[in-house]
């Protein structure tokens, strides 16, 4: 007849200490939120997919070039216009949106490729 190994006081104390540590780490982490979240936009077939994304402030958007031979960029228009570096096939570029508003963009070398990021509070 097989018997189960007995748990010693030392084993119980280690298990209890691990549970307390885990609970403390969860408390420090706080509630889940959009902060730190990442949303992906694929670049393929000379278009951004999805073409429009709605995110909460604090969210990062990552553009990934899925083309086989073509480079693209993400060029934001408007008052604070700026452009990403060229993204060659397989490369990505990310931007974290901190302020609410609408940000229109297009591809620098292919301006017919258009997209929009809507940032909410």
pLDDT tens for 7-17 read 444 434 444 44
Is residue 9 domain-resident?
A: no
The region that residue 56 occupies, defined by phi over 0 for left and psi between -120 and 50 for alpha, beta otherwise, is beta
Q: What is the pTM of this model?
A: 0.70
Q: Please give the span between the terminal C-alpha atoms of the chain, in angstroms, as a whole number.
A: 64
Q: Tell whether the model's pLDDT for residue 20 goes beyond 90.
A: no
State the CATH number of the domain containing residue 114.
Answer: 2.60.40.420
Is residue 95 domain-resident?
A: yes
What is the rounded distance in angstroms from the CA atom of residue 98 to the CA atom of residue 88? 27
Is residue 94 domain-resident?
A: yes
Q: Tell whether the model's pLDDT for residue 1 goes beyond 80.
A: no
Task: Say how many domains are in the chain.
Answer: 1
What is the rounded distance in angstroms from the CA atom of residue 102 to the CA atom of residue 29? 30
Using CB atoms within 10 Å of the CB of residue 11, give its burial: 0 to 12 exposed, 13 to 18 middle, 19+ buried. Answer: exposed
Is residue 6 domain-resident?
A: no
- Between residues 21 and 41, which one has the greater pLDDT? 41
Is residue 17 domain-resident?
A: no
Residue-wise pLDDT for 30-88, tens only, equals 333 345 799 999 999 999 999 999 999 999 999 999 999 999 999 999 888 999 999 99
Host domain of residue 100: 38-120
Beta-strand relationship, 38-44 and 47-49: antiparallel
């Amino acid at each position: 007849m097989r018997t189960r190994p007995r748990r010693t006081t030392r084993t119980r104390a280690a298990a209890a200490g691990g549970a307390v540590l885990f609970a403390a780490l969860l408390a420090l982490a706080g509630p889940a939120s959009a902060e730190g979240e990442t949303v992906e936009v694929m670049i393929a077939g000379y278009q951004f997919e999805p073409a429009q994304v709605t995110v909460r402030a604090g969210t990062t958007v990552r553009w990934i070039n899925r083309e086989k031979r073509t480079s693209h960029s993400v060029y934001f228009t408007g008052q604070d216009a700026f452009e990403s570096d060229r993204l060659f096939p397989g490369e990505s570029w990310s931007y974290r949106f901190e302020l609410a508003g609408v940000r229109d963009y297009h591809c620098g070398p292919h301006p017919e490729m258009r997209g929009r990021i809507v940032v909410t509070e």
